[in-house]
A = this chain, B = another copy of it.
Amino acid sequence: MKRLSILGSTGSIGRNTIEVISSHPDKFKVVGLAANNNIELLKYQIQALRPEIVAVFDETAAEALRKMDLQVEILSGEQGLVSVATHKDADMVVSAIVGSAGLVPTYEAIRSGKDIALATKEALVMAGSIIISEASERGVRILPVDSEHSAVFQCLNGRDMNEVEKVVLTASGGPFLRKKISELDSAAPEEALKHPTWNMGRKITIDSATLMNKGLEVIEACWLFNLPPEKVEVIIHPQSIVHSMVKFIDGSMIAHMSLPDMKGPISYALSYPERFSDVLPMLNLAEVRELTFEEPDAARYPSLSLTYKAIRTGGTMPCVLNAANEVAVEAFLDNEISFTSIAHVVSGTMAEHKAFNAVTIEETINASNRAKSKAAEIVESFRVGAGLKPARTKRM
């Protein structure tokens, strides 16, 4: 019986996690649940799973949930998330809070010796060095939940890393793969939110349209598999059937495929080293008929090269990239800046940052917060308004 705390239980990963464990009631017990503010769904989850501890990040929402009298301790704020993440009865923490808010709870879970099923890639993007050395010191296992990293993990399967030539992460290319580059600037949030193959949250769907999500995954892969950035490649694969691949020194390549459904990688992280049966319908390639691949177009996806630049710079730069992107995506979703301005905000914020090696999580968070302020300033200067749209004419 594995005892779990789920951080981000009402999000896409959280809901899929609960679906997976509901098929295996003999194997899992949910100890803790944490969410941002969706207390309606959280209430049902509490009633169904009977956790020992619950946290709601949003104070007002937490208070409203407390009034529902669900006979469970309900905490709030970041400290509440941390309490769920470190609860003494949890063996494993599913870390699935979107964005930088997931960093501290994930870090504290590792410090408490909990194994991590990691969807919050920001934890590694922002503080990879600290997270990985802490996990290694405490013998904590970090199991990837991202489909790409789960794929790489399954392709590696205990093979000698010296025989790995490259890791190749696949990217669908998002909704704008075939859109005229000249028309990207006027793309509306609703268009960018229409992901062709994956059904995910809003932030990550926009990150898929810019390929920033893939860039963050490159950073995540470097940390998870201890690889330099030049050993991690990205290839566009619109069908999202091949989830990633590993190239070996002899010219062999091992690929992981499945239907695109997050229950696959979630299930593997939870069941590892075993596999559950019947998680996803079996893939029939004769029905898929065709798998296609192409190089990502740098002009279409400037965010991807920004991420490589950030990794090569190292230190706090990936953290700053991520912080600026969070601000920029929110501004885009709020119709404050254009789609192509997202990369401009990120690149502008990076240009103003002098990277250093953060040795504590606090330093990391401070760097992230300063980058967010800087990004907000840049957003302000790019703001779409009153017929004046500077971002739409600016060129990088």
Contacts and interface: CB of A to CB of B under 8 A. Distances in A.
A288 B165 CA distance: 19
Q: How many copies does the complex hold?
A: 2
A249 B281 CA distance: 9
A198 to B, nearest CB: 16
Contacts of A252: 154, 256-258, 264, 268, 275, 280
Interface residues of A, number: 52
A293 B289 contact: yes
Contact of A255 (B254, B275, B282, B289): B254
A271 B254 CA distance: 17
Contact of A267 (B160, B250, B286): B250
A119 interface: no
Interface string A250-285: 111111111100001001100100111111111101
A352 interface: no
A163 interface: yes
Nearest to A286: B295
A248 B275 contact: yes
A141 interface: no
Contacts of A283: 247, 251, 253
Interface in A5-48: none
Contacts of A281: 251
A377 to B, nearest CB: 38
A292 interface: yes
A249 B280 CA distance: 9
B158 A158 contact: yes
Contacts of A285: 168, 235, 237, 245, 293
A363 interface: no
Given A163-B274, A235-B286, A293-B289, A279 B253 contact: no
Given A163-B274, A163-B275, A286-B293, A251 B247 contact: no
B258 A253 contact: yes
A182 interface: no
A91 B297 CA distance: 51
A260 to B, nearest CB: 11
B293 A247 contact: no
B154 A157 contact: no
Contact of A275 (B250, B259, B275, B294): B250
Given A289-B293, A293-B288, A251 B274 contact: no
A292 B279 CA distance: 25
Contact of A279 (B250, B255, B291): B250
A358 interface: no
Contacts of A165: 282
15 contacts: A154-B252, A242-B255, A249-B278, A250-B277, A250-B278, A251-B264, A251-B281, A252-B258, A253-B257, A253-B283, A254-B255, A254-B256, A285-B293, A289-B292, A290-B292
Across the A-B interface, the 10 shortest Cβ-Cβ residue pairs: A251-B280, A285-B293, A249-B277, A250-B279, A253-B257, A291-B291, A250-B275, A286-B295, A255-B255, A163-B275
